[in-house]
Amino acid sequence: MAYKYYNPNQYGDTGDCVVRAISKALNQSWDITYWDLCDIGFLQGDWGNSNRVWDLYLRDCGFIRKVIPNTCPDCYTVRDFSNDHMNGTYVLATGNHVVTIIDGNYYDSWDSGNEVPIYYYQR
């Protein structure tokens, strides 16, 4: 459907896409999300934004991880995914970015609609 600006980080766009995306998907503050990820990261001996840490967090929050079929690995975009998923909450991962889609709208601090997702979490 459409890109919607979302950046709850009071310091602007700081490379915190994991925190921003998860805070939107869970409808909770950036601060709570950040600290939750830090806690899990500490227990895992890893950074809060590492794939392993936020994977554990999303699974614990009831999300299921799914892989995007490799039928067109360079042409299926975040925008395409959002148009194909008009209902529900999804957290998409590209090679270097994370974005949330809710009911067909993708939320980010910039228009990441042309990014190519690799996998996603659905709740």
pTM score, two decimals?
0.94
Task: List the domain boundaries for the chain.
Answer: 2-122
Mean pLDDT over all residues of the chain?
95
Spans in the chain with pLDDT lower than 50:
none
- The full DSSP string for 16-49 is -HHHHHHHHHHT--HHHHHHHHHHHHHHHTS-TT
Tens digit of each residue's pLDDT (9 = 90 or more) over 4-28: 999 999 988 788 999 999 999 999 9
Dist. CA 52–CA 122, nearest whole Å: 17
